[in-house]
Amino acid sequence: MTALTNPDTATQELLERTQAGVLWITMNRPDSLNALTGTMIERLSVVLADAAERDDVKVIVLTGAGRGFCAGGDVKAMATGEGREETLEQRSARLRRHMDSARLLHDMPKPTIAMARGAVAGAGLSLALACDLLIASDTLKMTSAFVKVGLSGDFGSTYFLTQRIGHKARELALLSPKLTADEALSLGLVNRVVPDGELEAATSAIAAQLAAGPGLAMGHIKANLNTAEQGATLPEALDCEAWRHIRCGLTADHAEAASAFVEKRAPVFTNR
């Protein structure tokens, strides 16, 4: 793992708190709509990799401080020519390392939620779509934005847009319209829209439901969905489902759920 270039700055730019099994990660540059910096995204990758292994973390919520989720990359820093002293290979390797944060949000065996209000643009859109669920405030303004600054897209933007909305992704990528929360909901880009004042409560309720669930089974559910998403044939998908279904059937959580069903009570899962 690459060491953080400035750990103190990274700690200020990315806030973390764990409560009742939920890790809340807040991008913390509200004055710039949480535009991403190198230190922030490096820290995010470290935190997510650690969260994937932590027994006390059942669910991850990614959000932004202030009135926006994340406006994407820091265009002001781009305008200064930041990083141009590096070779093409060095810059590509650094960006690829940073983009692993999107892979971790998508692939880790724990549910991930984006809680978004205001601006969701560029790499911020990519990170939001990388999460399993996207809960949006009615103040949401969503746009691809890359074409507006002469870029082609990163952090999995083309992958996640295409997976979510198919051919319509070309319109969003090439024309970069600004979508309201209701428009994003109608396209299937967000899972739920709530009034801005209710965003934290609604997200907390969903996170708590997931945190109380059977973590091992949810990890296998995500793995099944990712297998199908990545182009598995039906026989391949069935093979994966069969193995994972039987594996879950051997867990203490499955035995507890079956007993709770018979006894007409709520199950208590232990992730074993």
Residue 267 has pLDDT above 90, yes or no: yes
Say what the pLDDT of residue 80 is: 65
Condensed to tens digits (0 to 9), the pLDDT of residues 75-104 reads 777 666 666 788 889 888 988 989 999 999
Say what the pLDDT of residue 73 is: 83
- Ordered by start, the domain boundaries in the chain are 7-211, 215-263
Say what the pLDDT of residue 5 is: 46
Q: How far apart are CA 222 and CA 106, in angstroms?
A: 9
Residue 1 has pLDDT above 80, yes or no: no
DSSP summary character for residue 194? E
Higher-pLDDT residue of 201 and 6 is 201
Say what the pLDDT of residue 2 is: 38
Average pLDDT, the chain: 92
4 band by pLDDT with thresholds 50, 70 and 90: very low
Q: Exposure of 2 by Cβ count < 10 A (0-12 exposed, 13-18 middle, 19+ buried)? A: exposed
- The DSSP annotation for 8-74 comes to HHHHHHEEEEEETTEEEEEE--GGGTT-B-HHHHHHHHHHHHHHHH-TT--EEEEEESTT-SB--B-
Condensed to tens digits (0 to 9), the pLDDT of residues 42-66 reads 999 999 999 999 999 999 999 999 9
Condensed to tens digits (0 to 9), the pLDDT of residues 7-45 reads 555 569 999 999 999 999 999 999 999 999 999 999 999
Burial state string for 188-214 with b = 16 or more CB within 10 A and e = fewer than 16: ebbeebbeeeebbebbbebbbebbbbb
Portion of the chain with pLDDT greater than 90, in percent: 83
DSSP summary character for residue 3? P
Backbone angles phi, psi at 176, to 5 degrees: 50, 55
Domain 7-211 has CATH 3.40.50.720: no
